[in-house]
């Protein structure tokens, strides 16, 4: 006697059900199964309906062995989440509308000119050579020119009401096991650079390679030193494996990875001090600049993440200009003159 077992993959998890047992039960995790994939198989009825416990036990063992073979963590518990907190649970649940410390109805528009002390000779903030505008802390919109996988920690949109907590931004969700030995980021298929090109797992993997190169700033070496390998699983899935298990902070550090365009850096030299803007993805883009003198940012009208909850109520000026001064007194006099 035979009956049909239906294996359904949902975001990588594999389930089974049968005609006399309609309740769907998880039996494993299949790395390469997509959301829409469905597999059908015909197995002996004794293996499904439990009439023969010994045969059922053998079938179960064989099934588990099969999925362990094709799974990064076997059937170990895999967490799937929109956010990650180092010390506790994230404050905001999936589907939240905005953070509590902003006005979600803040008006948008207008221009503002702000002073900045110092100078800059490159537009690439990720290399050791040169000084970029991002080197100056607190410059509105500058550090948000390019998006990381997650927002809320480190330099990008640091949370104002919870410590060491990050929410998916370029990624839609992340998956990780209980021992934190790896993490998979499922990228948002809507994520785009300012030139309209989609952000893919290849961009993420290539960004990692650039940031651990000798040309990159040492700060990125320190953040990514725990990574053992990076694997592109599909167009929108990328996995980071870590050298050591049990370190939850590794996931947050990788989530801070700024995503750069692989296509752009395959034809440009990463380590050079550059005055050529690269394709970025944040709420602002560079409209005009003169190295060492000023930089003008404009709000991206068709910004792919304009409705993302971490952005509601923020970055409301249509245009932001920074004038750079080498003397604080001169900067103050410029402020008084309007």
Query: What tens digit of pLDDT does each residue of 261-299 get?
Result: 999 999 999 987 778 889 999 999 999 999 999 999 999
Say if residue 173's pLDDT is above 90: yes
Residue 191 has pLDDT above 90, yes or no: yes
User: What pLDDT does 155 receive?
Assistant: 77
12 phi-psi bin (left φ>0, alpha ψ -120 to 50, beta other): left
Closest CA to 2 of 35, 38, 48: 48
Residues counted in the chain = 338
% of the chain at pLDDT higher than 70? 77
Q: What is the pLDDT averaged over residues 179-194? A: 98
Domain ranges across the chain: 2-69, 79-337
Identify the pLDDT of residue 137: 66
SS3 category, 135: helix
Q: What is the pLDDT of residues 116-154, one digit of tens each?
A: 989 999 999 899 888 998 877 667 778 888 999 999 987
Query: Dihedral through CA 114, CA 118, CA 119, CA 123, nearest 10?
Result: -70
Query: What is the arithmetic mean of pLDDT over 237-264?
Result: 96
CATH class of 79-337: alpha beta
- Maximum Cα–Cα distance across the chain: 90
26 pLDDT higher than 70: no
* 77 contacts 177 by C-beta, under 8 angstroms: yes
The pLDDT assigned to 244 comes to 95
pLDDT surpasses 50 at 39: no
The H helix count followed by the E strand count for the chain is 7, 16
Closest Cα partner for 200 from 159, 170, 241?
A: 170
Which has the minimum average pLDDT: 4-18, 151-165, 168-182? Answer: 4-18
| Residue-level pLDDT at 140 | 78
Outline where DSSP puts E strands in 272-312: 284-290, 294-299
Q: Give yes or no for a contact between 183 and 265, defined as CB atoms under 8 angstroms apart.
A: no
Is the pLDDT at 324 greater than 90? The verdict is yes
- pLDDT confidence tier of residue 337, bands split at 50, 70 and 90: confident
**pLDDT the model gives residue 304:** 97
Q: Which of 108, 86, 90, 111 is nearest to 99 (CA)?
A: 90
């Amino acid at each position: 006697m035979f009956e049909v077992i239906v294996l359904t993959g949902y975001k990588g998890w594999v389930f089974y059900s049968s005609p006399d047992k309609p309740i769907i039960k998880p039996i494993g995790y299949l790395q390469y199964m997509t959301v829409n994939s469905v597999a059908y198989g015909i197995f002996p009825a004794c293996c499904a309906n439990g009439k023969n416990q010994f045969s059922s036990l053998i079938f179960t063992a064989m099934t588990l062995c099969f999925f362990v073979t094709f799974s990064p963590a076997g059937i170990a518990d895999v967490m799937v989440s929109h956010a990650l907190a180092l010390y506790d649970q994230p404050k905001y649940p999936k589907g939240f509308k905005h953070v509590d410390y902003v006005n979600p109805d803040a008006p948008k528009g207008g221009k503002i000119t702000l002073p900045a002390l110092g100078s800059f000779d490159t537009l690439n903030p990720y290399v050791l050579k040169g000084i970029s505008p991002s080197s100056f802390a607190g410059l509105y919109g500058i550090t948000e020119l390019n998006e990381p996988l997650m927002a809320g920690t480190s330099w990008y949109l640091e949370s104002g009401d919870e410590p060491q907590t990050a929410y998916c931004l370029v990624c839609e969700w992340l998956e990780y096991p209980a021992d934190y030995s790896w993490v998979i980021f499922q990228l948002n298929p809507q994520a785009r650079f300012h030139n309209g090109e989609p952000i893919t797992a290849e961009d993420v993997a290539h960004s990692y390679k650039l940031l651990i190169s000798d040309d990159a700033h040492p700060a990125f070496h320190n953040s990514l030193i725990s990574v053992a390998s990076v694997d592109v699983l599909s167009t929108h899935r990328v996995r980071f494996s870590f050298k050591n298990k049990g370190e939850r902070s590794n996931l947050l550090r990788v989530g801070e990875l700024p995503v750069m365009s692989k296509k752009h850096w395959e034809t440009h030299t990463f380590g050079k001090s550059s005055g050529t803007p690269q394709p970025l993805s944040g709420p602002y883009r560079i409209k005009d600049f003169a190295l060492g003198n000023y930089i003008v940012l404009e709000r991206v009208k068709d910004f792919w993440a304009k409705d993302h909850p971490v952005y509601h109520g923020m970055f409301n000026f249509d245009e932001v200009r920074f004038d750079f001064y080498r003397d604080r007194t001169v900067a103050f006099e410029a402020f008084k003159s309007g």
